[in-house]
Structure 1
Amino acid sequence: MPVARPELSLSLQFADPRHRALLPRHKVARFVRAALERPGEITVRIVGAEEGQTLNREYRQKDYATNVLTFDYADEPVVMADLVLCAPVVEAEAAANGKDLLAHYAHLLVHGTLHAQGYDHEDSEEEAEAMEQREREVMAALGFADPYAEGAA
């Protein structure tokens, strides 16, 4: 019997449309829902380099575009967050690491969704290991390889 997944209200936005065909709403919802541990209201926005850099500079004081930014607004009882993925960065990372682009997007959506629920990898090695293990479990359940394994596609 399939495991019931938490309810998800998803808004999907493409400021950068280059991967729109690769990321239909049902796939994005599947990836996010797989990482949710309680109901969520999540907006996923795919952006270009300029918007990605602006957001990273304004909110993290880092003047470059990064792969995923998580803006979490509430964690209990409903996860409320915006996940911003920078299409050119995601594409470049996938190519540089020999990873399948959809698998890399799935991993970053899982990663961002876990951040929105309080998972972290910056404060301690133990927290980083716990988050990475949860990512591995979710990705395996989605049918993807371990995103941290060398040469994982």
Structure 2
Amino acid sequence: MTLNQLSLSLQFGRFDGAAAHRAVLPRHKVTRWIRHALATDAEITVRIVDAEEGQQLNRDYRKKDYATNVLTFDYTQEPVVTADLVLCAPVVEREAHEQNKSLEEHYAHLLVHGTLHAQGWDHETSTADADEMEAYETAILHELGFADPYAR
């Protein structure tokens, strides 16, 4: 399998517990997870933030006043995908615990999920689109050695 090229900027905000998140997100793993979800070459920034920054971005850009797990800001899809993925560390950690997943497993899923959004995939348009996106995410995660994220 030939994977597309990725120019990755991996950033961590300053927050309590950042070291634990940094430990499960080494650049080589993040790169691998994202590259498996790419249909074309990409330039992507991944930023791991605290709840305050996550809530502010969600409020400012989506008009939803709470911190969410992943926000995707897609700028171009052709010829190169250009996007920012912002993951809210406390939300990701809480969800991983609630879903009985490892932190690494949940981050891998959300990075694949956000990367698909950056390429135009949308699960909020219809049930059929949601089912198709979930099936594709599951297939990608299976290739990466992770369990079905929706089977819990």
Aligned residues: 148
Cα separation, 2, equivalents of 1:74 and 1:132: 23
* SS of 2:7 mapped into structure 1: strand
Determine if the alignment matches structure 1 residue 6 to structure 2 residue 8.
no
Displacement of 1:21 after TM fit? 1.1
With normalisation by structure 2, the TM-score equals 0.96
* TM-align CA RMSD: 0.7
2:75 alignment partner in structure 1: 73
Residue identity opposite 1:60 in structure 2:
R
1:90-147 CA-partner distances (Å, limit 9, x unpaired) = 0000011111110000000000000000000001111111111110110000000000
Cα separation, 1, equivalents of 2:99 and 2:138: 17
* SS of 2:40 mapped into structure 1: coil
Cα separation, 2, equivalents of 1:124 and 1:87: 28
What runs of 5+ residues in structure 2 fail to find an aligned partner?
none
Q: Could you list the structure 1 runs, at least 4 aligned residues long, displaced by more than 2 angstroms after superposition.
A: none
Q: Percent identity?
A: 67
What runs of 5+ residues in structure 1 fail to find an aligned partner?
none
Cα separation, 2, equivalents of 1:40 and 1:127: 23
Cα separation, 2, equivalents of 1:21 and 1:123: 35
Displacement of 1:51 after TM fit? 0.2
Determine if the alignment matches structure 1 residue 87 to structure 2 residue 89.
yes
Cα separation, 1, equivalents of 2:22 and 2:101: 19
